[in-house]
Amino acid sequence: MKASVQGFHDQQGNGALFEDVYLIEGKRTPFGKYTGSLSTVSPTDLGILASRAAIETAGVPAEDIDQTIVANIGQASADCFFLPRHIALYSGAPLQSTALLTQRICGSGMELLGQAAEQIALGKANLVLGCGTDTMSRFPLASYSARQGFQLGRPEFIDLLWEALNDTAAVPMGCTADNLAREYALTREEVDAFSMRSQERYASAQAAGFFAQEVAPVAPKGVLEMADYKPRKYRLNNREAVAADEHPRRTTMEHLAKLPCVFTKEGPTTAGSASGIVDGAAAMLVASGEYVRANGLKPLGRIRGFASTGVKPDIMGIGPVPAIRLLLAQMGLTLGDIDRFEINEAFSAQCLAVARVLELDQDKLNVNGGAIAIGHPLGATGVRLALTCLKTLQRDGKQLGIASACIGGGQGIAMVVEAC
């Protein structure tokens, strides 16, 4: 068998189906809370740390990497223009290999895995390093008019962290969740209960050691070196090593019920039912079956296909519904064929609306908790979803999984993976 791809597109969206393309292994940094431990580390350095850990775990020589594909949404360091290339080189990829940046906002991490599979199926690579990274705490204040001058006492600056959460064509992201809550008659109690479940499931999985297999601890400081080039230094904000996600919290329904609505007066979205603003990176190695067999590797699973679709911007959170339906139809599968779903919890109301429309079995959905607990570093989330999905399938002895996310601006993306 040889790696191959079959593209498709229609009025519903577009995507690709793959044969003989594998996800070997992956790792991620802990996801650090807003202005927490990782907030002083550039997204480039977080990407290098995650990529080095993924390469080591996969057991492949870095010099075999043909391409590096990176997702990064917030340009949060002065060298951001070189971010993909620096992640590649400082992770050990050879000088002659290439690196590029991809951006599909919240779906970028999944998009880069799909693009990596396409490159392999087209014969342009045998091994691709995929990495998503964002230090959201470092999203800058920016002035786009300073070079042209401004009136006395009227400098213009904007907060790019807020702008990342605000669709100027429609409404802020949180309002789209409240829109879905109204459309699908979701109550505040239902939304809070979903948030509570995310936290509880994460706590149970963490206590059982599940996340230890995907998280690579980050030392309090370090020097990232590459022969013949300048070393990169980083230091954590709290000056202590971090080995676990910082955003999850223990809460109660009573506490969640007391939180005020933050986007609309009617709600129901609160700080407790929105994904965490966090810092972190995740990386995976994508390879052809030829490479896997030649090197005697035992991959986590296969990429079977991925699809993306467009939806109305003011209900962007429903995006996973048409993306999942489109992909399953192209593959000749049904929702009943899928053993586990990892759907990004941008907001509880959003994910709950998706589950309601698709009539998903809640026992198959985000069984280890989701972004309400873990957080949502925009460029890294898609990689994290695919990694967690495969690790979950492996643990539970299941076969097929779907990773999916809604996307700001009104899109959805979905990927079907199969455990090996």
8 Å CB contact between 171 and 315: no
In the structure, what pLDDT confidence band is assigned to residue 231 with cuts at 50, 70 and 90?
very high
Quick check: is 420 catalytic? no
Task: Say what the pLDDT of residue 150 is.
Answer: 86
Q: What is the pLDDT of residues 37-66, one digit of tens each?
A: 999 999 999 999 999 999 999 999 999 999
Whether 351 is covered by a domain: the verdict is yes
Q: What is the pLDDT of residues 102-138, one digit of tens each?
A: 999 999 999 999 999 999 999 999 999 999 999 999 9
Whether 389 is covered by a domain: the verdict is yes
pTM exceeding 0.95: yes
Task: Say what the pLDDT of residue 155 is.
Answer: 86
Q: Residue 377: which domain range?
A: 303-419
The token pair at 385 is 């979803």
Among 106-110, 146-150, 172-176, which stretch is predicted with the lowest mean pLDDT? 146-150
Whether 334 is covered by a domain: the verdict is yes
Task: Say what the pLDDT of residue 21 is.
Answer: 98
Task: Work out how many domains the chain is built from and give that number.
Answer: 1
Q: What is the pLDDT of residues 292-333, one digit of tens each?
A: 999 999 999 999 999 999 999 999 999 999 999 999 999 999
Task: Say what the pLDDT of residue 395 is.
Answer: 98
Q: What is the pLDDT of residues 15-24, one digit of tens each?
A: 999 999 999 9
Of the candidates 80, 106, 131, 175, the residue annotated as catalytic is 106
Whether 399 is covered by a domain: the verdict is yes
Q: What is the pLDDT of residues 243-277, one digit of tens each?
A: 999 999 999 999 999 999 999 999 999 999 999 99
Question: Residue 373 sits in a domain of what CATH number?
Answer: 3.40.47.10
**What is the C-alpha radius of gyration for the chain, rounded to an integer number of angstroms?**
20
Task: Say what the pLDDT of residue 152 is.
Answer: 85
Whether 377 is covered by a domain: the verdict is yes
Q: What is the pLDDT of residues 371-407, one digit of tens each?
A: 999 999 999 999 999 999 999 999 999 999 999 999 9
Q: Does the pLDDT of residue 239 top 90, yes or no?
A: no
Shortest CA distance to 105 belongs to which of 326, 372, 409?
Answer: 409
Whether 181 is covered by a domain: the verdict is no
Task: Say what the pLDDT of residue 79 is.
Answer: 92
Quick check: is 389 catalytic? no
In the structure, what pLDDT confidence band is assigned to residue 346 with cuts at 50, 70 and 90?
very high
Of the candidates 80, 351, 389, 406, the residue annotated as catalytic is 406
Whether 11 is covered by a domain: the verdict is no
Task: Say what the pLDDT of residue 412 is.
Answer: 98
Whether 414 is covered by a domain: the verdict is yes
In the structure, what pLDDT confidence band is assigned to residue 154 with cuts at 50, 70 and 90?
confident
The pLDDT of 69-82, averaged and rounded, is 95
3-class SS letters over the chain:
CCCEEEEEEECCEEEEEEECEEEEEEEECCCEECCCHHHHCCHHHHHHHHHHHHHHHHCCCHHHCCEEEEECCCCCCCCHHHHHHHHHHHCCCCCCCEEEEECCHHHHHHHHHHHHHHHHHCCCCCEEEEEEEEEHHHCCEECCCHHHCCCCCCCCCEEHHHHHCECCCCCEHHHHHHHHHHHCCCCHHHHHHHHHHHHHHHHHHHHCCCHHHCECCECCEEEECCCCCCCEEEECCCCCCECCCCCCCCCCHHHHHHCCECCCCCCCCEHHHECCCEEEEEEEEEEEHHHHHHCCCCCCEEEEEEEEEECCHHHHHHCHHHHHHHHHHHHCCCHHHCCEEEECCCEHHHHHHHHHHHCCCHHHECECECHHHHCCCCCCHHHHHHHHHHHHHHHHCCCEEEEEEEECCCEEEEEEEEEC
Q: What is the pLDDT of residues 1-13, one digit of tens each?
A: 899 999 999 999 9
